[in-house]
Amino acid sequence: MCGICGVVQLDPEKPVPRNLLRAMTAALGHRGPDGEGLYLAGPVGLGHRRLAIIDLHTGHQPLSNEDRTLWVVCNGEIYNFRELRASLTKAGHRFATGSDTEVIVHAYEEYGDNCLEELNGMFAFALWDARRQKLLLARDRLGIKPLYYALLPGALVFASELKALLAHPEVPRRLDPTALRLYLALEYVPTPQAIFAGIRKLPAAHLLLCNRQGVQLRPYWNLSYNHDATPAPAASARQLRDLLRSTVRDHLLSDVPLGAFLSGGVDSTAVVALMREAVAGPLITSSIGFAEAAYNELPYARIAADRFQTQHHEETVSPRVAELLP
């Protein structure tokens, strides 16, 4: 879980103050304990807080292309980065790191805004194109990684969390009454609204472009359904298993130890089973139990942990749960 933020001044002669970008980035410190990076160039500033998962030593962000005309900050993972890296290297691109994030700048060089069609992963990223003086914000197809933005009278600001946006003095701290009503009715705030007025969530599978001509928001992918397909139950089961196995393997790309939350239910147990198929070494699982027997699933989690030989950890939560907080 990394954190990104940034500011683009609509007046190209107005620089982004370093102390402002630092304050916004510092508000995301809990998302990335492994490092902080800033990029400042006149009217644009990009900030990043890093939780190192892939390429622990050279994957610091912001990252650039060879001539430093493209800069990117990203929260998430690109699962097919090895395949993309190989094809882009064959096309003549040169990579400076082993980071999955670096494929974004080279994919953009090769495909432009259509690079999003090539990316398989969970991500929210911001890419600054210095030649075209254009910012590209993008969010993954399912909206797994968060991204908020606000269009101010003189700037576009964005961040992984609301608190980083609120570090900007021009972002109003005023509740959106409609969003509040939706929250009280639904217990969440639907996209594209946020709980604060003037702030929006970038929708899943969308990109936002910002340049001197203005701001453009558009989808880059839509989920399609085949209503005529009626596979037999056995075929559906095989297809589901193959898809689960494939996506679990995608999620196992990591340069740090792997683990899983295990409730003992069908879903998390299936994930751990497929992880065990793919991982020969240690596999860490963690479970939460409750003092009330009706809500406690620890016995089922232990069965699964024993079956798949995981390094299992448990924590029982009581009404005094506040004592667990740091």
Element (H, E) at 136: strand 134-139
CA distance 58 to 51: 13
Whole-number Cα distances in Å, 186 to 161, 180, 181, 189: 21, 10, 8, 7
CA distance 132 to 176: 35
Among 2, 5, 74, 210, the one annotated catalytic: 2
**Which pairing describes strands 214-219 and 36-41: parallel, antiparallel, or unpaired?**
unpaired
Name the 3-class secondary structure at 282.
coil
Is 2 one of the catalytic residues? yes
CA distance 82 to 80: 6
CA distance 25 to 39: 11
User: Could you tell me which of 148, 160, 5, 140 has the C-alpha nearest to residue 77?
Assistant: 140
Catalytic residues: 2
